[in-house]
């Protein structure tokens, strides 16, 4: 019986263990986690979601405080169109986060950054261009474009000196999305270096509707493998979403995937950025504790624990400090929902907003517990301790379990 280690992901002459730890927003896929993946010969991701906030936490900078101070006058104003990001400061934060991570890299693996198009930051094209270029400047090995179709993202960096040398990949959930991306970018003469095919069981935002359960990752991967062969496109395909054991991973490699991208099992490792208390919530979750809902202002369904404090919280929008989801005209679906509730309950001190959430604030505070479908199986990957908590795992332990396990087994920590 084969294990993942019997295979290698090839990028030209570079050979990697075919395990990618996926990007997990607002520093759940921390630099420490990505560095472990690279040290062990695979690929790790850091995330560029709310990078000024992440930099403040990592390096004691004041990017958020500065922005909040600058726009303090606007806090009570429902119009957020004037709240914009300083592009120079945004580049600086990205340089620090990426640069210091790359400096610390050891081993033969790679570190990529996950970049979400839906973080439109009140100036979609300009802020995306700055984030992509700054990551390339700071030496990132590759960029994974996610949460959006990214039809114009390659063009934003086509003049960058590293445009053809850095690895650039996209995440898609259907052959149609891939075809659209390839068609729109044909004139650049530069194909993606890899394609992550993410199925309906993944964590974070989903590329499916609330009918996600009708889709199957094996079927989507098979369809895209067939399409790439028919078009004679030799692009590594990386399968993602619900791959819980090494044997699950092998099943995708055997139908044509070059590697797998995994995330959920790493959320409960020491290196992941979630607070330890939240990691225990993930361990304890049962299947009925997890839902896919529409509360993300991005418009994409998102999977999370039903007990997430973000659900129903009616906090005042925090765009002066954050504002990552402002669409370019100062709008965000949460602001609309919040203002509606305030108008309906003018005398209430506290309002509850059930249909949308202030994703920036809640992701920043680790109060939106987004998770993969199989989070309820995490308890089977560790040991329950005398005090009722589960033992946190090391990223190395989980990585090696994916790499070497057979027979659908999951290795428990020693
Ligand atoms: C907690 C969590 C946060 C995530 N955040 C992001 C994100 O910010 N951007 C993104 O492209 N994917 C995100 N994902 C998706 C993962 O990168 C990955 O593709 C997927 O979850 C793999 O499936 P698995 O979790 O079942 O292993 C997230 C997943 C989890 C579990």
What are the per-10-residue average pLDDT scores of the chain (414 residues)? 97 95 97 98 98 98 98 95 98 98 97 98 98 98 96 97 98 98 96 98 97 98 98 98 98 98 98 98 98 97 98 96 97 97 94 97 98 98 98 98 97 94
What DSSP line would sit under 29-65, residue for residue?
S-HHHHHHHHHTTSEEEEE-TTHHHHHHHHH---HHH
How much distance in Å is there from the Cα of 202 to the middle of ligand 1? 6
What DSSP line would sit under 63-112, residue for residue?
HHHHHHHHTGGGTT-S--TT----HHHHHHHHHHHHHHHHHT--SS-EEE
CB 178 within 8 A of CB 150: no
Phi, psi dihedrals of residue 116, rounded to the nearest 5°: -95, 125
Q: Is 87 exposed, middle or buried (0-12, 13-18, 19+ CB in 10 A)?
A: middle
What pLDDT score was predicted for residue 192? 98
Both tokens assigned to 265: 């099992």
DSSP-based three-state secondary structure for 90: helix
What pLDDT score was predicted for residue 239? 98
Ligand 1 pocket by Cβ (under 6 Å): 22-25, 28, 47, 49, 114, 116, 146-147, 171, 198, 201-204, 240-243, 261-264, 267, 370-372, 374
How much distance in Å is there from the Cα of 238 to the middle of ligand 1? 13
What pLDDT score was predicted for residue 20? 98
Both tokens assigned to 56: 């403040």
Distances (CA, A) of 237 to 169, 176, 234, 240: 10, 15, 9, 10
Q: What is the dihedral of CA 47, 50, 52, 54, to 10 degrees?
A: -60
Taking alpha carbons only, the member of 217, 33, 189 closest to residue 111 is: 33
DSSP-based three-state secondary structure for 14: strand
DSSP-based three-state secondary structure for 254: coil
Beta strand segments in 157-202, E: 167-172, 194-198
CB 29 within 8 A of CB 46: yes
- Could you tell me the end-to-end alpha-carbon distance of the chain, in angstroms, rounded to an integer? 24
pTM above 0.85, yes or no: yes
What pLDDT score was predicted for residue 228? 98
- The preferred substitution site among 20, 22, 47, 112 for testing ligand 1, maximizing ligand atoms within 8 Å of CB, is 22
What pLDDT score was predicted for residue 183? 97
Q: Is 358 exposed, middle or buried (0-12, 13-18, 19+ CB in 10 A)?
A: buried
């Amino acid at each position: 019986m084969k294990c993942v280690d019997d295979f290698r992901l090839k990028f030209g002459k570079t050979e990697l263990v075919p395990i990618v730890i996926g990007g997990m927003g607002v520093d759940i896929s921390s630099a420490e986690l990505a560095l472990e993946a690279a040290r062990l010969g695979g690929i790790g991701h850091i995330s560029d979601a709310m990078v000024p906030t992440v930099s403040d936490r990592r390096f004691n900078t004041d990017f958020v405080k500065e922005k909040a101070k600058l726009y303090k006058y606007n806090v009570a104003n429902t119009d957020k169109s004037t709240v914009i990001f300083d592009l120079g400061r945004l580049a600086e934060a990205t340089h620090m986060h990426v640069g210091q991570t790359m400096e610390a890299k050891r081993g033969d693996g790679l570190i990529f950054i996950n970049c979400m198009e839906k973080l439109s930051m009140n100036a979609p094209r300009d802020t995306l261009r700055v984030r992509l270029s700054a990551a390339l400047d700071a030496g990132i090995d590759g960029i994974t474009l996610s949460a959006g179709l990214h039809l114009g993202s390659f063009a934003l960096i086509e003049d960058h000196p590293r445009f053809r040398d850095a690895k650039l990949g996209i995440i898609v959930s259907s052959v149609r999305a891939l075809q659209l991306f390839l068609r729109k970018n044909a004139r650049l003469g530069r194909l993606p270096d890899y394609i992550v095919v993410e199925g309906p069981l993944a964590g974070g935002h989903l590329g499916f509707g609330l009918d996600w359960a009708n889709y199957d990752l094996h079927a989507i991967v098979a369809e895209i493998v067939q399409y790439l062969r028919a078009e004679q496109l030799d692009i590594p395909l990386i399968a993602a979403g619900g791959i819980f054991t090494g044997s699950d991973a092998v099943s995708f490699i055997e139908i044509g995937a070059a590697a797998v991208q995994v995330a959920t099992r790493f959320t409960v490792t020491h290196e992941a950025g979630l607070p330890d208390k939240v990691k225990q919530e993930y361990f304890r979750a049962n299947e009925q504790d997890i839902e896919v809902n529409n509360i993300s202002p991005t418009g994409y369904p998102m999977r999370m624990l039903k007990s997430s404090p973000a659900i129903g919280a009616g906090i005042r929008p925090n765009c002066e400090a954050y504002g990552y989801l402002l669409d370019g005209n100062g709008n965000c679906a949460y602001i609309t929902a919040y203002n509606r509730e305030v108008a309906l309950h003018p005398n209430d001190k506290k309002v509850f907003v059930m249909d949308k959430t202030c994703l920036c604030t809640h992701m920043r505070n680790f109060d939106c517990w987004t998770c993969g479908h199989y989070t309820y199986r995490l308890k089977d990957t560790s040991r329950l301790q005398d005090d009722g908590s589960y033992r946190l795992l090391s990223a190395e332990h989980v990585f090696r379990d994916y790499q070497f396990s057979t027979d659908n087994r999951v290795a428990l920590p020693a």
